[in-house]
Structure 1
Amino acid sequence: MSSSPSVPDPATEPTGPRAGHDAPENERARRLTDVVTRLRRTLRSAIRTDYPWESLPMAQVELLQSLAAAPLRVGELADRQRLAPNTVSGLVGKLLEAGFVDRQADPGDRRTARIALTPAGRRQLDDWQQAHERRIATALGTLSPADRDAVMEALPALDRLARALAETTAAPE
């Protein structure tokens, strides 16, 4: 009597040409990278399917998120997003055209301007956030209670990982 082969769980089983050949820490990093990439891609795709009004590119959403706390100069936005200032200037231009941000005089340096969210930009960001929260809440609801707990218990460690990554990428070149 033969037993049916078990189907590997892609979230827990190594895959690809290097599976089983990497050091354990490299394999964990590869698996985490894979899951995070799939999670971001799936969420981005799902939000556009579920909420077709959402048309802002992720780079523009991330700029709006950076501006949520306070207005910033283009150079500060570029540093926070780890993008070239001319790239941020182009993104800011599109957000200006959409009416989501405006330029304000910088009280500390009259030669520069700060970029600030407009009420329309705040609404757009709030709508985007709420849509994502609904989508994630729905997906979390499909998980077992143990899996939901595991996801929530992992958040503090994932936050520390994000901070550690930000610190290593912010190091001087």
Structure 2
Amino acid sequence: MGVQPNPVTDVDDTVVDLLVTAGRLTRAAGTLSADDLPRATVRALAVLDEHGTLRVSEFARIDRTSQPTATALIARLVGEGYASRRRDPDDSRAVVIALTPAGQARLAASRAAMRDALPDPLPGFDAERLTALAADLRELLAAIRESTGSHTSPRKHR
């Protein structure tokens, strides 16, 4: 008899493949776009948009960077007016950062540039197929967060 596939491993491998593909999609979108905003800046704006107000240490953990790297990136965001920094209301020794309206607008412009760089229509992908795919991916993200007890749930401090 041949080797029987392990359905758990197959599902796990498929989820990993989806995560790898999502990363590749993000990188492809960045290279297609005419937007000149550095990928690290776009990623930082997206983290703040998704998670709301964060301490620098939380931002570093979510973005998987060192605290000094996160501090430098956040300083650039603050300097460009894309983020604000203030004392943490729960701990006056700590600082929290938040996306500003200018940061939200810049992130929206970056995302619009990605959208505009894509061919319309995408070959083989009509609106119905893309809508279903987007819904499935949002459900997958929610399931991953729920099943792993992920501490990256959105809008922690808002």
Distance, in Å, in 2 between the alignment partners of 1:154 and 1:45 is: 22
CA RMSD of aligned residues (A): 3.1
Residues 106-164 of structure 1: per-residue CA shift (max 9 Å, x gap): 222211121123343233122112223333xx43513346x542232122221122233
SS state of the match for residue 105, structure 1? strand
Are 2:78 and 2:84, in contact at CA under 8 Å, matched by a contact in 1? yes
Q: Structure 2 length as normaliser, TM-score?
A: 0.67
- Give 1:20-169 correspondences, 5 Å limit: 25=10, 28-29=14-15, 32=18, 35-47=21-33, 50-51=34-35, 54-57=36-39, 59-68=40-49, 70-135=52-117, 138-144=118-124, 147-167=126-146, 168=148
Structure 1: gaps (5+ residues): 1-21
Q: Which structure would you say has the larger Rg? A: 1
Asked which structure has the greater RCO (Cα within 8 Å, sep 6+), the reply is 2
SS state of the match for residue 106, structure 2? helix
SS state of the match for residue 112, structure 1? strand
Q: Structure 1 length as normaliser, TM-score?
A: 0.62
| Paired AA for residue 154 in structure 1 | L
| Paired AA for residue 44 in structure 2 | L
Q: Say which structure is richer in strand.
A: 2
Are 2:83 and 2:103, in contact at CA under 8 Å, matched by a contact in 1? yes
Give identity over the alignment, percent: 27
Number of residue pairs the alignment of both structures matches: 142
- Change in 2 beyond 3 A, CA 1:84/1:90: same
Residues 75-112 of structure 1: per-residue CA shift (max 9 Å, x gap): 23234334433332122122233332231122222111
